[in-house]
Amino acid sequence: MRVLVIIPAYNEEHALPALLGELRALPNLDAQVTPVVIDDGSTDATAKVAEEHGARVLRMCKNLGIGGAVQSGIRLAFREGFDFAAQIDGDGQHPPGELAKLMGAAGDADLVVGYRDKGPTTLLRRIGSWWLRVVLRVTTGVKCNDPTSGFRLYGPRALALFDSEYPYDYPEPEALAIARARGLRVNEVLVTMRERQGGQSSIAGFAAAYYVFKVTIAVALAYVRARLKPRD
C-alpha cells in the first residue's frame, strides 16, 4: 500500500526538518510512505530544506493558498496511483505518529478527519468551531468535531473526486460538504495535536469572526452546487 503524505508549506523552513525527520522515523504502518512538500510560493528556503531532508517537492509558481496547494498534492496522488493520501500541516502541529490512527479509522470511509478534543484556544475560536459544526450538521448532515482540521486521510474515491473538484477558499469545511453531497463516506478520529512549531495563523482576533461568517455561506453554496452537479 502506497501513501502520499501531502505537506502544504508556506515559509516553513524552520518547522520542516523535525517534521520530515519524524516521518522518516515512523514505525511500520504496513505502507510505503512518501512525503511531498508543496512549496506554495515561499519566500524563504522551504523548498531547499525539504529537498535536503529527503522529501519530494512541488514548487508552485506563486502563492495559491491552502486549497490550491492541497489539490496539487491530491492530483499527484491520484495520477500516480497512490492508494491513500494524508494531509499534514507544514507547521508541525500534526504529529506523523498519529497517522496510524487515521489509517486505522479508514475502514469503509473515503475521508477521515483527525480532530483534537481540547486544546489552548480563544473563546472566539471555540464559538466559531461550534458554529461551523452546527452549520455542517444542519446543512449537509455531516457530523464533525473539528471541521477546520487539516489533518486528513483521503481514500481512492476521495482522491478521484478532489482531483477535479476541490474548494480553494475554505477547503477544509467546504470539502466535507462536497464529499457528503457526492456520496462519500466521512469518518473522524481523535488525535493528539501540538502547538504550531513555526509560522503564524492567518486567522486571529476579529478576523476569525469574519472567517466564520464567510465559511457559513461557502459551505452552504458548496453543498448545493455539488448536489446539483451531474454525476459521472
Residue 161: which of 144, 174, 145, 142 has the closest Cα?
Answer: 174
Q: What is the mean pLDDT of residues 23-35?
A: 89
User: CB-based burial of residue 198 (10 Å sphere; 0-12 exposed, 13-18 middle, 19+ buried)?
Assistant: middle
% of the chain exceeding 90 in pLDDT: 77
User: CB-based burial of residue 80 (10 Å sphere; 0-12 exposed, 13-18 middle, 19+ buried)?
Assistant: exposed
- The answer on pLDDT for 30 being more than 90 is no
The 10s digit of each residue's pLDDT in 158-206 is 999 999 999 988 899 999 999 999 999 999 999 999 876 555 555 555 5
Q: How many CB atoms lie within 10 A of CB 132?
A: 23
Average of per-residue pLDDT values in the chain: 90
- The answer on pLDDT for 207 being more than 70 is no
- The answer on pLDDT for 120 being more than 60 is no
% of the chain exceeding 70 in pLDDT: 91
CB 56 within 8 A of CB 20: no
| Residue 147 pLDDT | 92
Q: How far apart are CA 12 and CA 52, in angstroms?
A: 14
Q: What is the mean pLDDT of residues 51-68?
A: 95
Q: What is the mean pLDDT of residues 10-17?
A: 96
Q: Which domains does the chain have, with CATH numbers?
A: 2-228 (3.90.550.10)
CA-to-CA dists, residue 229 to 57, 75, 157, 165, 211, angstroms: 33, 21, 17, 11, 26
Residue 201: which of 116, 112, 99, 89 has the closest Cα?
Answer: 89
The 10s digit of each residue's pLDDT in 69-105 is 999 999 999 999 999 999 999 999 999 999 999 999 9
| Residue 118 pLDDT | 65
Strand ranges, E, within the chain: 2-9, 32-39, 56-59, 84-87, 111-115, 152-154, 186-190
Lowest mean pLDDT among 67-81, 106-120, 130-144, 165-179: 106-120
| Residue 223 pLDDT | 93
| Residue 206 pLDDT | 53
